């Protein structure tokens, strides 16, 4: 095996290991912890949007209204 091929295959292995580790951590966290993050960009999927008084929710509703008009 050439030096460059050796380095490339090493890097490939590292990337795969990194992706596997990150995925594993995220999946494990999803099933073992409670979600506390308040980040809700996709307001359209939020079930509380209708009664939402948060600035983000209000802005989203106003934008929606503007795009309809």
Please give the residue ranges that form the binding site for other proteins (CB under 8 A).
Answer: 8-9, 11-12, 15-16, 19, 22-23, 26-27, 29-30, 33, 35-39, 41, 53-59, 62, 67
Nearer to other proteins by Cβ, of 2 and 39: the residue is: 39
Torsion of Cα atoms, 40 then 43 then 45 then 48, to 10°: 90
- Structure token digits, residue 29: 């966290």
Question: CA-CA distances (angstroms) from residue 15 to 1, 2, 18, 66?
Answer: 20, 20, 5, 45
Nearer to other proteins by Cβ, of 37 and 50: the residue is: 37
Q: How far is the CB of 50 from other proteins (least distance, A)?
A: 13
């Amino acid at each position: 095996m050439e030096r460059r091929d050796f380095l490339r295959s090493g890097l490939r292995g590292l990337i795969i290991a990194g992706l596997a580790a990150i995925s594993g951590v995220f999946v494990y966290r999803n099933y073992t912890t409670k979600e506390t993050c308040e980040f809700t960009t996709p307001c359209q999927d939020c079930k509380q949007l209708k009664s939402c008084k948060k600035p983000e929710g209000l802005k989203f509703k106003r934008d929606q209204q503007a795009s309809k008009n």
